[in-house]
Structure 1
């Protein structure tokens, strides 16, 4: 392969990926009308199952209710972010909501809602220790948002041994 052919192939491939990512963000934004989109909710439910394993209720019905409340708190948390940060997060969630984006950034072949907890944990761990600063930042954002929304509820503080704020 000649150098010119390789450079052309790289340029065309990069352009195609950029257009596909931008198209996915336009068609299914991660944040829409003051709420997480359905694909973004599935993503954060998967992240919560992985990050909060052992903290989430074991009963499936109770866990479903807890995850719904968690996702509602995430809506509130994200709504409080600056508009530019919400826009960047929306683009990230849109990209992670697509199969190519999920595979490229998280290394996860299955959909967020279909992956096992072990697969989700392995994907997040790979992101955490990745040599790519972008993958590490994505991991930190997903983990921090998920944990922030979960532990914002006073009902979850007992797991940490936190008695709550002192009454003045």
Structure 2
């Protein structure tokens, strides 16, 4: 394949992904107002359970309540971001919420609900080590949104050995 043909193919693929991604974001946005859509909450729930695996309460109502509170904190954080950042997150959530977008962007064929924590951890590690900047950015966005919301909760500080703020006399 000649260089010019390769460039045309790459440009065509980027345009196609942009059009499909834009269409998906219009049909099923990742954010509704300043809140995650149901599919975005499912995505972030799966990522949260895998990123902070072992830090959640054991299975049951306590775990479900902790994860729902966590997702509410993620929503609150996203609501405070500038409109341009929220628009990008909405597009990312819309693409990763669709099977085609998920397969094209991160190479994951199964739904977030069906994937195990180990499978999601493997996918996230592949994104982290990818030579493509966009895949690394996806990794950082998903991981950082969850870890920020998790570790800003004072009840979780002890998990890192942080005793909390010192009292100033």
Q: TM-score, normalised by structure 1?
A: 0.89
Aligned length: 168
1:59 deviation in Å? 2.1
Q: Which runs of 5+ in 1 are unaligned?
A: none
* Alpha-carbon separation, structure 2, partners of 1:18 and 1:97: 16
Deviation at 1:14, TM superposition (A): 4.8
Counterpart for residue 154 of structure 1: 154
For the structure 1 residues 32 and 56, does the alpha-carbon distance in structure 2 shift closer, same or farther, using more than 3 Å as the test?
Answer: same
Mark the runs of 5 or more structure 2 residues left unpaired by the alignment.
Answer: none
Shift of 1:5: 9.1
Q: Deviations over 1:135-160 (max 9, x none)?
A: 01110111011000011111111111
Contact 2:34/2:86, CA 8 A, preserved across alignment: no
Distance 1:162 1:39, change over 3 A: same
Higher mean C-alpha displacement, 13-22 vs 70-79:
13-22
Q: CA RMSD in A?
A: 2.2
> Shift of residue 118 of structure 1?
1.0
Task: After TM superposition, give the deviation of residue 32 of structure 1 in Å.
Answer: 1.0
1:75 CA drift (Å):
0.6
Residue 125 (structure 2) pairs with residue 129 (structure 1): no
Distance in 1 (CA, whole Å) between partners of 2:12 and 2:79 is 37
- Counterpart CA distance in 1 for 2:8 and 2:23 is 22
Residues 8-157 of structure 1 correspond to what in structure 2 (within 5 A)? 14-157=14-157
Question: How far 1:134 sits from its partner (Å)?
Answer: 0.6
